[in-house]
Amino acid sequence: MRLIQARIVPCGLGVLLFLLLASKVWGSPGLHLDTGPLEGPGWSAAGARIALQFTASGGTRASGRLFGLKLPALLEKIRAIEFSCAELDLSDGYSCPAAKFKLHRSDGAWSPPPLAIRFDADNGLHIRGLALAGGKLELDYLPGSKGWQANLQANGVVLSKLGRWLAEWGIEATPEVSAGKISGNLKLEMRAKGLQGELSLGLGNLAYSSDDGERAGENLDVNLRLRARELKDGWQLAGEAGLDAGVMGVAPVWVEVGDAPLSLQFEADWQAQSHTLDLRKLHIQHPGVGALRTRASLVNGGWILHEAELEQGHFPELYQVYLQPFLYGTPLAELYTAGELEARLRRDGNGETHAQLELRRLDLHDEQQRFGLEQLSGSLHWGSAGKVPTSTLSWGGGHLYRAPLGPASLRGEFKGEDFQLAEPLQVQILDGPLRISEFKAQGLGTPSLAWELSGGLGPLSMARVSEVLDWPPFEGSLAGEIPAIRYARGVMNVEGSLGIQVFDGDVVIRELRLEEPLGVVPRLRAEVDFHNLSLDALTRVFSFGTIRGRLDGALHGLLLEDWQPRAFDATFSTPPGDRSRHRISQRAVGNLSSLGGGPADILSRSFLRFFEDFSYQRLGLSCRLRQGLCEMGGVEDSSGGYYLVKGGGIPRIDVKGFNRRVDWNTLVERLKQATASQGPVVK
């Protein structure tokens, strides 16, 4: 067999094709072709060696090796490519129905299944049957005088297998894909001005997750289209994506696609020299929830937000999907919401940030019924510095716990982490006014939130107060001036005192302190003093039995947890020097005896049962509550107990208590029974 050897510097595939065809014409039994360096747009090779062998039957076998390769990113590990073809067809260009390839990498070798490959007369390359990760790929390459075109078609590629294949090439797929298939098309075109491309993909039944579970998706159907154009110093990028089905998100936000698909559009420029990404446009449309438009830059690995706009934010969807996940553990974690919201944020050339929030008929109601506001509307303005427009906000009504709030409007100024009321605010609560003369807050949006207000309350009728607190109806009023209420680190302190005119006397509340007012277990502390209350009015309201006289008292060290008493020092007694008429009914005597651990029918077995009421000198009761136990006392001690009522006049009656330590819940139950029953029947 005669061999022809040649060493040339080829001009391209056309020269190689000519030599192959010429060798066939010359009738040579074989050909070895060694080339010098080869190069093309984005790649180069140290050389190529091609061998042809012509069989007696007129067939052609071919083999070759391309070595010293330098390829673009993702392919840079390939150092050489070997190929062989048992049936090379040279009738029209040249083609091989089952070409075998072997790719030598820096870390090993990989051989794909046999391919159908064809070079046409115009040096075009066409590959069919390329198997990858359970799918099929087709490649078409068309060279031209001023560049080239390439088209890659993929069908049914299994993403989990693709991830493992990429890992073999040193490309880690993050997050890990566990299910789904991909089909699509990649078009590349090289022209004098540079490379440009377009990628269209369809992903079906996609499932993925990160190792920490912070990013995940399941049963996703995604359509993706990306376009890229090479610039002098970077790339111009654009694209669209549509999510048609499934659930996806980044913790704590998880989005489930409903009847309408979620869509995304973007335009960006990548500057290679400065490693800067200018995201000129990002538009995310979530039907039924809202639309987000934004512009940002990625500089030195960090994002800078230039502008963002939320359009047509619908409640409750916006709250449930995007806001509530960040509010768990706060008083805003469980809200019923309705209405609309729009927001704008921009960063100017001086680095100052400005924001505007538009509220339209927004309803917010705590599902635990602690607070609520209806028909919130207004325009809120915020700025990091400089002059900020005045914010306005109005509402049609609401409630604070069971106390209804009337309509009102406010004007104020936000700047940085601070807010200050621009003018006094008055809100109707129950049947009287809550006046806020001044209000200012610091540390908004931070754990160090603090605020302070001053104003006044009332007068409020005690009848309405009693109604919302589910108490028996009181007469009188509640009013007071508030020099200052200060809140910091979850604690609210009230300076000054609140005065309540009730039962023809006065109740003064001072040193009021509320810890975690909207938390899971709010705590209230206070000092309460009672002055010259009418026992006649008090006992008539509570159906305790009639007592006439006056009463002083103190409830010091009061501690309520979740609005239930946990500790206090309570004393109630006849005021010193009281000159009012002192009388007590049989029923009241029995009820007081029961509270002290004595019999309720104390008078039923004596001649005293013939008297309807009795005169007394002094009465009193004390309770020191600690750890669920009440340490009881009266006006003075006696042998074996203490006096609850110290008798005076004829007939004389003394009521004694005997139990010094009483379970608090038991004592409360006795009080309920005393005020609910008609008292003992004395015959």
Give the per-residue pLDDT at 173. 65
DSSP 168-222: HTT---SSEEEEEEEEEEEEEEEETTEEEEEEEEEEEEEEEE-TTSSEEEEEEEE
Q: Which residues contact 621 (CB under 8 A, 6 or more apart)?
A: 570, 571, 572, 573, 592, 595, 632, 633, 634, 644
Residue 596 one-letter amino acid: G
What is the Cα–Cα distance from 653 to 647, expressed in whole angstroms?
Answer: 5
What is the Cα–Cα distance from 672 to 538, expressed in whole angstroms?
Answer: 15
Is the distance from CB of 95 to CB of 117 less than 8 angstroms? yes
Pairing type for strands 94-105 and 353-366 reads unpaired
pLDDT tens by residue, 622-666: 999 999 999 999 998 888 789 899 887 777 788 888 888 999 888
| 507 vs 193, residue with greater confidence | 507
Whether residue 232 has pLDDT greater than 90: no
Residue 450 one-letter amino acid: A
Give the per-residue pLDDT at 405. 94
Give the per-residue pLDDT at 596. 66
Whether residue 439 has pLDDT greater than 50: yes
pTM: 0.71
% helix, strand, coil for the chain, step of 5 = 10, 60, 30
Both tokens assigned to 376: 């919130």
The enclosing H or E element of 542 equals helix 535-542
Both tokens assigned to 129: 């049957």
What is the Cα–Cα distance from 647 to 602, expressed in whole angstroms?
Answer: 15
Percent of the chain exceeding pLDDT 90 equals 45
Select from 453, 456, 474, 457 the least CA-distant residue to 465: 474
pLDDT tens by residue, 582-600: 998 888 887 887 776 655 4
DSSP 441-471: EESTTSTT-EEEEEEEEEEEEHHHHHHHTTP
Is the distance from CB of 169 to CB of 163 less than 8 angstroms? no
Give the per-residue pLDDT at 676. 58
Whether residue 380 has pLDDT greater than 80: yes
DSSP 102-167: EEEETTEEE-PPPEEEEE-TTS-EEEEEEEETTEEEEEEEEEETTEEEEEEEEEEEEHHHHHHHHH
pLDDT tens by residue, 529-554: 999 999 988 888 777 788 899 999 99
Give the per-residue pLDDT at 604. 43
The enclosing H or E element of 415 equals strand 408-415
Q: How far is CA 248 from the centre of its chain?
A: 15
pLDDT tens by residue, 210-227: 888 888 999 999 999 999
Q: How many CB atoms lie within 10 A of CB 387?
A: 7
Coil vs helix vs strand at 591? helix
Residue 40 one-letter amino acid: G
Residue 483 one-letter amino acid: P
The enclosing H or E element of 13 equals helix 13-26
Whether residue 334 has pLDDT greater than 90: yes
Angle formed by the axes of helices 664-676 and 586-595, to 10°? Answer: 170
User: What residues does each domain of the chain span?
Assistant: 1-124, 417-502, 525-676
Select from 544, 527, 528 the least CA-distant residue to 536: 544
